């Protein structure tokens, strides 16, 4: 089966036809979706989706753009959501110096707090990092915890830095960008990385692969991502789907069904 390791089906882009899209996924071999929280509100919506659909699991976390909403009280609430039955990871958390909606010090503070929360609860972590390569690496090295596997979602940095993350035991999240002609660094990264450390993700509604670039994305498009990874690794799309399913199960600790 195809596992979408990172999606945002709670996004308003799906308000018109969410049910229809979600129900159609299983007919297209998408067996499991991890819906990822990005704010307090979307974490709440994520928990609701996991309760409504058997094939949806969730991650609870606050994205760097949204950490202004965190305080001791709301952080306590977030911790409680992590204990919900189908919440399998903390995320997405990290640093974003591209949008820079919150200042760097505040971003770092809540990134570290959420990483330590994952450490305390021994949960996997989904990291978002944009234009913040050095600070992200520094924090992840300082806070390294062998009980919390880490995926660098929508990996966008150099192959050299990917090598460093791989040596730390981390996973790389690969999505629609791998099908873009100009994604030279990412293609080099995927060629170099062991396929056992790759997770397929949509980040939908964003980042649709070619031939749907610019349109609303959904998990059915992961077939194009599997094909693109397969081309780079000398594997068939089927083999990529099989291996990345195992990777996602190992990473999120999802039992075989």
Tokens standing for 113?
């707090």
- Of 189 and 217, nearer to Ni ion (C-beta) is 217
Provide the binding-site residues for Ni ion, judged by CB under 5 A: 203
* Residue number, 32 or 237, with CB nearest to Ni ion: 32
Which lies closer to Ni ion via its Cβ, residue 203 or residue 245? 203
Residues 6+ apart with CB under 8 A from 158: 133, 185, 189
Q: What is the DSSP string of 156-219?
A: -S-HHHHHHHHHTT-EEEE-GGGGSTT-HHHHHHHHHS-GGGEEE---BTS-PPTTSTTSPP-G
Tally: H helices and E strands in the chain: 9, 8
Nearer to Ni ion, 66 or 203 (CB): 203
- 220 Cβ contact list (under 8 Å, min separation 6): 24, 25, 28, 30
Is the Cβ of residue 50 or residue 237 nearer to Ni ion in the bound state?
A: 50
Angle between helices 222-233 and 237-252 (to 10 degrees): 110
Q: Would you say 37 or 149 has its CB closer to Ni ion?
A: 37
Closer residue to Ni ion (CB): 102 or 203: 203
Among candidate residues 55, 45, 28, 48, the one with its CA nearest the CA of residue 226: 28
Closest residue to Ni ion, based on beta-carbon distance: 203
Q: How far is the CB of 36 from Ni ion (least distance, A)?
A: 5
Reduced to 3 states (helix: H, G, I; strand: E, B; else coil), residue 126 is strand
Question: Residue 181, Cβ neighbours under 10 Å: how many?
Answer: 8
Gap between the Cα atoms of 140 and 195, Å rounded: 22
As a whole number of angstroms, the distance between CA 60 and CA 174 comes to 20
């Amino acid at each position: 089966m195809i596992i979408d390791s990172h999606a945002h089906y709670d996004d308003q882009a799906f308000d018109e036809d969410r049910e229809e899209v979600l129900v159609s996924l299983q007919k297209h071999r998408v067996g499991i979706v991890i819906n990822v929280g990005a704010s307090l509100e979307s974490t709440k919506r994520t928990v609701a989706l996991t309760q409504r659909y058997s094939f949806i699991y969730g991650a609870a976390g606050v994205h760097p753009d949204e950490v202004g909403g965190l305080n001791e009280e709301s952080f306590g609430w977030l911790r409680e959501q992590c204990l919900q039955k189908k919440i399998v990871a903390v995320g997405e958390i990290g640093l974003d110096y591209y949008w820079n909606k919150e200042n760097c010090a505040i971003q770092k503070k809540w990134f570290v707090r959420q990483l330590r929360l994952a450490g305390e609860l021994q949960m996997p972590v989904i990291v978002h990092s944009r234009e913040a390569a050095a600070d992200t690496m520094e924090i992840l090295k300082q806070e390294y915890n062998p009980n919390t596997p880490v995926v660098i979602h929508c990996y966008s940095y150099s192959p050299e830095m990917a090598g460093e993350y791989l040596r730390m035991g981390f996973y790389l999240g690969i999505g629609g960008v791998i099908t873009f002609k100009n994604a030279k660094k990412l293609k080099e990264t995927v060629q170099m990385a062991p396929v056992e450390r790759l997770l397929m993700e949509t980040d939908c509604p964003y980042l649709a692969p070619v031939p749907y670039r610019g349109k609303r994305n959904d998990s059915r498009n992961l077939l194009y991502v599997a094909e693109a990874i397969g081309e780079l690794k000398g594997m068939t799309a089927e083999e990529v789907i099989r291996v990345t399913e195992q990777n996602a199960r190992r990473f999120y600790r999802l039992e075989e069904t």
